[in-house]
Amino acid sequence: MNDGAQILLVEDSDDDAELTIRALRKEKVVNEIERVRDGEQALDYLFCRGAYGHRSFADPPRLVLLDLKMPKVDGLEVLASVKGDSRTRTIPVVIMTSSRELPDVQRAYELGANSYVQKPVKFEHFHEIVKQLGLYWVVVNHAPHAPAVTTQIVE
Amino acid sequence: MRIAANRSFSLAAGVFCVALGGLALAGWFTGAGWLVQVHERFQAVHYSVAACFLLLGLGLCAALHQLRIMALALASAAGAVALLCWVQVLLGADFGIDRVLTSPLPGREYPPAMSPLLAVTFMLAAISLALMILQSPVRSIAAAIFSAWSLLIGAMALIIFVLSAVVYSDPNTRMAVPVAAGLVMLGAGIAIRALQGSERSQRVEGSLRLRVAIGYALALLLLIGVALASQLAVQRLVASQSTVTRALRVRAEIAQLYSLLKDVQRGQRGFALTGEPEYLQPYHAGRRALLEQLPLLRGLFTNPEQLRRFQAIESLIERQLAQQEKKIQIRQAQGPAAAREQTLSREGERGMEEIQRQIMALQAAQDEVARQRIELSERAAFWTGLVNVGGILLAIAVVASGLVVLFRGLTARERAEEEVRQLNRVLTERSTALASLNLELAAAEEEARRQKQLFQSVSETASVGLVAADENGRMIFINEAAKKILGRGISESPAEEWSNDFQVWLPDGSAMVPPQDLPLVRAMRGEVVRDVPLLLRMPGRPEVQIVGTGIPLLTSEGTLGGGLVTFFDNTETLEHEAFLQQLIESAPDAMVIANESGVIVRTNAQATKLFGFEKSEMLGQPIEMLMPSRFHARHEGQRARYAGAPVARPMGVGLDLLGRRKDGSEFHVEISLAPIATRHGTLLSSAIRDVSERRRAQQALQTANQQLEQVNAELAAVNRELESFSYSVSHDLRAPLRHLMGFSQMLREDFGPSLPTEVHKYLSRIQDSAERMGNLIDGLLNLGRVGRRDLIRLPVDLRRITNEVREMLQSECAGRAVDWRIGQLPAVHSDPALTRQVLENLIGNAIKYTRGRSPAIIEIGFASGDGEEAIFVRDNGVGFDMKFSHKLFGVFQRLHSASEFEGTGIGLATVQRIVKKHGGRVWAESAPGAGATFYFTLGAATLPPLNEAAAIPVTQEVNQA
C-alpha cells in the first residue's frame, strides 16, 4: 500500500543510523525506514527530485528523524526548506542530535521543528527514546493526509 | 356620481347592442324568424350586422370593465367584418362571408348584404372604440364623429320608417328599425364613455359635456318634431288628395245622374208615343238606378251650399220622375192620343231643362270646389316635401353644429389646458424671479447691516487707538482703546493745544512734540505718516510709549476732509526688548543672533569676550565673520538649508566646528542653534561655547576607549572560539561514546549466551567507562555554559527547589535511611536554574558521601558561618581534611578515589562558578570522618526568609550536574 518509507532517517553517521534502525526494528515499531546520509539527499527525497524523482508529494513519510550536524546541507537548512514549503510543511520533523546547545534548540523550534531530542550516550536511554519517538509519531500521532498504519505494536 | 351614471349608460348601451345582435344571430341559427324580423314592417336584421352589434357591444362592455386586450380584439373583429362587407359591396364581389355563419332561412328571401352605409358606420364605431380603449388623445374627436354619424344615420332611418317614405328604398340603404335603434345606442354609449376624458381637464370638459348633451337632446327633440311635422303634413296631404278625389267623383256622379235622367225621359217618351212596351224596360232600369244613385250622391257632399243645390235638384228630379210615371199611366189608361197630348204639352221638356240647368250650376260649383281642393292638395304636397327636406336638413345642421360645438369645445379644452400650462410656466418663472430678487434684496440689507456692525465691532473692540479730526481742525471721533491709551477723551481745543492736552513728548522725553509735528495734524494736512514713536506723559499715570500712524481722510469728492490717526501702546514691547537683552546677557555662552540673511542683529558681552570683537563691530555684519574664511562658502549654503526647515538642534553634529577670533586665531566651539519666529522673519539664535579644553579631554578618552574596544573584540573572538569548541565537543565527543555503548550492548544482546562470562565483564567495563566519559563531557560542557550564559535574576523559593531536588535524587537514596532536616530558608533573588544546579550538586554530594552512614543526616538551612549569613548543606558523611580545602573547587580535583566515590571532579567547580557569577561565595568546613558543611551566598541577592506563598514557583529545566 505505501511504497514510501514511514520514517525518513537523515543521519550521516553509519553507527548512529544502525543503532537507530535497530532500535526501531527491534521494537517492531516500524519496518519501512529510509535512511539518507546527508541533507542534500534528504531534500531530494522529501521534494521528490534527483534520485527520488519517482516519488510523489502525495506520499510523504510519516516522520523525519533529522540529525543536525551533517556534511553538505546541515539539518537546520533541511528543516528550513521543509517547513518553508507548503507541500512539505505538514510532515513532522523531529530533530535528533548529540548537541543540546541552547542556540540549536532555539533555532530548531523557530524553524518549526516538531520536537527536539538529544541522543543519550547510554544505549538503554537511546533505545528507549527512539522507541518512544517511533511509537508516538508513527502510531499515536494523527498525521495529516497520511495513510492508515497497519504496523503491529508489540509492547 | 356623474361618471358612474355615464358608465351605467354606456354599459346599458353595450348590453342593448349585445342583446340585439345576440338575439338576431340566435334567430338566424335556430330558424326563429320572429327574432330576425320582429315585425313584418321591419327589415330583417342581417346576420353580419348582428355579428357586428354583438362584437361591438361585447367590446364596449369589456372596455368598461378594463379588459383592454379583450375589448381591443372584439373591436378589431367587428371592424374587420365591417371592412370585408364594405369591400365586398364596393367591388361587387362575394367573399362568401354572409354564408360563413348560416344559410338562408327556409322560405325567406335571402337578405341583401350589409349596406355600405352600415359597413362604414360599423368601421367608424370599431375605430372609435379602439381609440377609446387605447386612451388615444384623439379618442374624443373620433367618438364625437362616430356618435354624430350614427345618430344621424339611425335617426334618419327612424324618420324614414316613421314616414314610410320611399325616398331611401334603395336596397343598399334600407335599414331595419332595431338596427337604427342599436346604432343610436352604440353611438351614445361610446361617445359618453370616450368623452369622459381625464380629470385634468374635467372643468372645461364638464361644460363641454353639458353642451354636447344639450345638443343631443335638442337634436333628438328636433328630429322627433320634424318626424311629427312630417307625419302631420303627410296626413294633410293624403286628406286633401282624398277630398280632391271625392270632388271629382261627385262631378262624375252628377254627370251620370243627368244621363240616367235623360234615359228615363227617353224611355217614357218612346212608350208614350209608340205604346211599345220595349221602351218601358230602359225607363224602369233608369228610374231604379236614379233612385239608388240619389241618396249615395247626397252622402258625398260635404259642402252645405252644394248639398242644398243638390237637394233642390233632387226634388226636381223626383217631380220629374213623378210626372213621367203619370204620363206612363195615362198612355196605358187613355191611349196614345191622351199620351201624345200630354207629351206635346212640353211640360216634361221644361222640367228636364230646369234640372239640366240646375245640374249645370251644380257641376260648375263642384268644378270650383274640385279646383280649390286640388290647389289645396298641391300646397299640402309642397309643404310636406318642404317639411321633410327641411327637417332632415335641420337635423343635419343640428348635428353638424353639435359637431362644431364639440370640436370647438375640444379645441377650447386643449387651448385652455395649454393656457393653464403657459400660465403655470409664467407663474413659476415670475415666482422664481421674485424669490431671487427678494433674496438679493435681503442679502444686500444683510450686507449693509453687517458692514455697520463690523465697523462698530472693529472700532470698539480694536486694541488700536483711533482718533479722527475734521478739516476744520476739530477732533470728532475717539474710540475706547484710544481713551484707554491716552487717559482722556476728546479734546475740544484747537489742534495747537493737542500736544499739551495729551502730553505728547518725543520718545526720549527730551521735549514735547511740536503740535504741527503730531501725526494727526500732519495727516490733516494730507500727509501719510507711518510708525512715529511718541511718549505720553500724562500726570498721575505711568509713561506710555506709543507708535502712531496718520492718514488723511478724503471726502467723496476727493477733497481733504480731515485726518485719522491710529496708534498702539508700545510700552510693553519696549520693556520686552530690554528684558530680552538682559536675558541674552545673562546667558553663560556667547549668544549671536542673526536674521534670515545671516546678518548679526543681537549679541552679548560673552560674545565680545569670546571673539574679541566689540558689540558694535559685530552688529550688522554677516555671521561668517566669526568663523575661519575657508568655511564661509559652505556655511552660507547650510544656513540657507536650515532656514528652510528650522528646528532647535546642536550645530554640525559630528563635525569639528571652529571659531575665529578678531586676532585670527581659531578655536573649537560647540554651537546650539534655535530658530526664533518673529514677524520680521525667522531669526537664528546661536549659543556658542569654547570647547577646546573639553575636546582635548575627549580625545584622550577616545583613545582609551578604542584600546578597550580592541581588547573586547579579542575577548569576544576567544569566546566565539570557545563556543564553537563546546559545540564540537557536544557533538563529536558524545557520538563515539554512544556508539561504543550501543555496539557493546548489541554484542551482549545478539551474542550474549555464547560469550564467556569474562567478555560480559569486559563489556560492562567498557560501558561504564563510556558512561563516565559521557558524564564528564556533560559536566564540562555545563561548566562552560555556566560561564558563558547571562544571569537572570528572579525571586526564587529555595525551600521549594530544595524539595524538588530531594525528590529528584530520591533514587540515589534507595535502600538507605536518610534523615532530612530542612530548616528556614531565605527568599533569594537569583537565577533559578543555576541556583537549582548549586543545590543539586551540594545535596547530591551529601547523599554520595554519607554512603555507609545509617542514618545519613542531611541538613539544609540558613545560618551564620565564617562571619557571613549563608545557606548551608551539612552531612554526617566521610568529610575531608581541611588542608586540601583549597583544591576542593578546582576542576577535576577530587579528594576521594573514583573507586571509593565515583565522580567527575566538575560538580563543585560548577557550584563555585555559579556562586561567583552571582557575586557570592562558597566555602566548606569539614574534618575527616566528621561530615562536611558547604556554605554559599548569592551576593546581594540573599534576602530574609519569606513565606512560601510569596515565592515564585521554579519549574525551569535544570541541567544535570
Cα–Cα distance measured from residue B284 to residue B325, given in angstroms and rounded to the nearest whole number? 10
B955 pLDDT more than 70: no
B767 pLDDT more than 90: no
Q: Are the Cβ atoms of B727 and A124 closer than 8 angstroms?
A: no
**DSSP at B599:** B
Q: Are the Cβ atoms of A16 and B734 closer than 8 angstroms?
A: no
Mutate to test the interface with A, among B739, B766, B786, B957 (most CBs of A within 10 A): B739
Residue B123 forms beta bridges with which residues? none
Q: Are the Cβ atoms of A101 and B771 closer than 8 angstroms?
A: no
Q: Which is it for the CA torsion B405, B410, B414, B419, positive or negative? A: positive
Number of A/B CB contacts below 8 angstroms equals 61
Nearest to B730 among A16, A98, A124 (CB): A98
Cα–Cα distance measured from residue B71 to residue B315, given in angstroms and rounded to the nearest whole number? 83
Query: Going by C-beta distance under 8 Å and a sequence separation of 6 or more, which residues neighbour residue A119?
Result: A16, A96, A97, A98, A126, A129, B734, B735, B738
Provide, as residue numbers in chain B, all residues whose Cβ is less than 8 Å from the Cβ of A11: none
Least confident of B219-233, B238-252, B446-460, B730-744: B219-233
Provide, as residue numbers in chain A, all residues whose Cβ is less than 8 Å from the Cβ of B770: 121
pLDDT of residue B706: 92
**Closest residue on chain B to A104 (Cα):** B727
Confidence of residue A93 (pLDDT cuts 50, 70, 90): very high
Give B781-845 as a 3 state SS string. HHHHHHHHCCCCCEEEEHHHHHHHHHHHHHHHHCCCCEEEEECCCEEEEECHHHHHHHHHHHHHH
- Across the range B124-150, mean pLDDT stands at 78
Q: Are the Cβ atoms of B738 and A99 closer than 8 angstroms?
A: no
Using the Cβ of B298 and the Cβ atoms of chain A, whether some distance falls under 8 Å is answered with: no
Cα–Cα distance measured from residue B575 to residue B571, given in angstroms and rounded to the nearest whole number? 6
- Across the range B878-895, mean pLDDT stands at 81
Confidence of residue B163 (pLDDT cuts 50, 70, 90): low
Q: What is the pLDDT of residues B18-30, one digit of tens each?
A: 888 888 888 877 7
Q: What is the pLDDT of residues B361-413, one digit of tens each?
A: 888 887 887 888 888 888 878 887 787 787 778 777 777 777 777 777 778 77
Provide, as residue numbers in chain B, all residues whose Cβ is less than 8 Å from the Cβ of A126: 738, 741-742
- Across the range B562-573, mean pLDDT stands at 88
pLDDT of residue B595: 87
For residues B467 and B477, the answer to whether their CB atoms sit within 8 Å is yes
Cα–Cα distance measured from residue B856 to residue B751, given in angstroms and rounded to the nearest whole number? 42
Query: Going by C-beta distance under 8 Å and a sequence separation of 6 or more, which residues neighbour residue A74?
Result: A39, A68
Using the Cβ of A98 and the Cβ atoms of chain B, whether some distance falls under 8 Å is answered with: yes
Chain B: give the shortest CA distance to residue A120, in Å: 7
Average pLDDT, chain B: 80
Q: What is the pLDDT of residues B308-361, one digit of tens each?
A: 888 888 888 888 888 888 888 887 787 777 777 766 667 777 777 888 888 888
Provide, as residue numbers in chain A, all residues whose Cβ is less than 8 Å from the Cβ of B767: 123
B564 pLDDT more than 50: yes
pLDDT of residue B953: 38
A94 pLDDT more than 90: yes
C-beta pairs of B607-610 under 8 Å, 24+ apart in sequence: B607/B688, B610/B659, B610/B661, B610/B688, B610/B690
Q: Which is it for the CA torsion A140, A144, A148, A150, positive or negative? A: negative
Q: What is the pLDDT of residues B447-498, one digit of tens each?
A: 988 888 887 788 888 888 888 888 888 888 888 888 888 888 888 888 888 8
Q: Are the Cβ atoms of B735 and A120 closer than 8 angstroms?
A: no
Q: Are the Cβ atoms of B771 and A122 closer than 8 angstroms?
A: yes
Chain A: give the shortest CA distance to residue B700, in Å: 40
Cα–Cα distance measured from residue B271 to residue B332, given in angstroms and rounded to the nearest whole number? 9
- Across the range B836-847, mean pLDDT stands at 90
Q: Mark which residues 28-57 of A lie under 8 Å from B by CB.
A: none
B938 pLDDT more than 90: no
Cα–Cα distance measured from residue A31 to residue A24, given in angstroms and rounded to the nearest whole number? 8
Amino acid letter for position B920: G
Least confident of A20-29, B258-267, B466-475, B650-659: B650-659
- Across the range B809-823, mean pLDDT stands at 86
Q: Are the Cβ atoms of B739 and A99 closer than 8 angstroms?
A: no
For residues B877 and B849, the answer to whether their CB atoms sit within 8 Å is yes
Q: Are the Cβ atoms of B730 and A123 closer than 8 angstroms?
A: no
**DSSP at B855:** S
For the sheet with B529-536, list strands across it.
Answer: B475-478, B465-469, B560-569, B544-554, B529-536, B504-505
B201 pLDDT more than 50: no
Using the Cβ of B746 and the Cβ atoms of chain A, whether some distance falls under 8 Å is answered with: yes
Q: What is the pLDDT of residues B772-799, one digit of tens each?
A: 888 888 888 888 878 777 788 888 888 8
Task: Report the Cα–Cα distance between both ends of chain B, in Å, rounded.
Answer: 115
Q: Are the Cβ atoms of B739 and A19 closer than 8 angstroms?
A: yes
Nearest to A22 among B726, B744, B746 (CB): B746
Q: Are the Cβ atoms of B745 and A69 closer than 8 angstroms?
A: no
For residues B941 and B925, the answer to whether their CB atoms sit within 8 Å is no
Q: Are the Cβ atoms of A120 and B738 closer than 8 angstroms?
A: yes
Percent of chain B with pLDDT over 70: 89
Q: Which is it for the CA torsion B803, B807, B810, B812, positive or negative? A: negative
Q: Are the Cβ atoms of A19 and B742 closer than 8 angstroms?
A: yes
Average pLDDT, chain A: 81
pLDDT of residue A146: 47
Grid coordinates representing B793 are 535574576
Angle (CA) B923 B927 B932, round 5°:
50
Q: What are phi and psi of A74, to 5 degrees?
A: -85, 175
ipTM: 0.74
pLDDT of residue B168: 40
Provide, as residue numbers in chain A, all residues whose Cβ is less than 8 Å from the Cβ of B780: none
Using the Cβ of B734 and the Cβ atoms of chain A, whether some distance falls under 8 Å is answered with: yes
Confidence of residue B946 (pLDDT cuts 50, 70, 90): very low
B139 pLDDT more than 90: no
pLDDT of residue B98: 64
Cα–Cα distance measured from residue B868 to residue B861, given in angstroms and rounded to the nearest whole number? 14
pLDDT of residue B195: 65
Cα–Cα distance measured from residue B51 to residue B102, given in angstroms and rounded to the nearest whole number? 12
Using the Cβ of A101 and the Cβ atoms of chain B, whether some distance falls under 8 Å is answered with: yes
B287 pLDDT more than 60: yes
Q: Are the Cβ atoms of A98 and B742 closer than 8 angstroms?
A: no
pLDDT of residue B709: 92
Provide, as residue numbers in chain B, all residues whose Cβ is less than 8 Å from the Cβ of A68: 731
